[in-house]
């Protein structure tokens, strides 16, 4: 007797306010966010660090350490900065 197994979902990333992050290039490229933005994204988003200001509904508001606007990005496109 075979059982139907539910597909395994990847673990949900969680970040807290104040966490330092950067954008994962592979997750970002081809996403809705990248399609709605400049075709040549700035290098600093992939190098980091950006600081998480808020987390809401699976997205994080990121502030970069330069005079640019804050952005909201899905948590699955972010990784911890190291």
Cβ neighbors of 55 (< 8 A, separation 6 or more) are 14, 15, 16, 17, 61, 75
Place of tokens 């496109």: 77
Q: In this predicted model, what pLDDT tens digit does every residue of 33-61 receive, in sequence order?
A: 888 888 899 999 999 999 999 999 999 99
pLDDT surpassing 60 at residue 62: yes
| pTM, entire model | 0.79
pLDDT surpassing 80 at residue 7: no
pLDDT surpassing 80 at residue 30: yes
**What is the pLDDT confidence band of residue 11, given thresholds at 50, 70 and 90?**
low
Model pLDDT, residue 3: 59
CB 47 within 8 A of CB 22: yes
């Amino acid at each position: 007797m075979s059982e139907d197994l539910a597909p395994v979902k990847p673990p949900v990333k969680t970040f807290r306010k104040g966490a330092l992050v950067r954008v994962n290039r592979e997750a970002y490229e081809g996403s809705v966010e990248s399609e709605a933005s400049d075709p040549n994204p700035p290098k600093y988003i992939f190098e980091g660090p950006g600081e998480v200001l808020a987390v809401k509904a699976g997205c994080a508001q990121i502030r970069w350490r330069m005079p640019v606007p804050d952005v909201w990005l899905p948590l699955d496109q972010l990784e911890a900065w190291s």
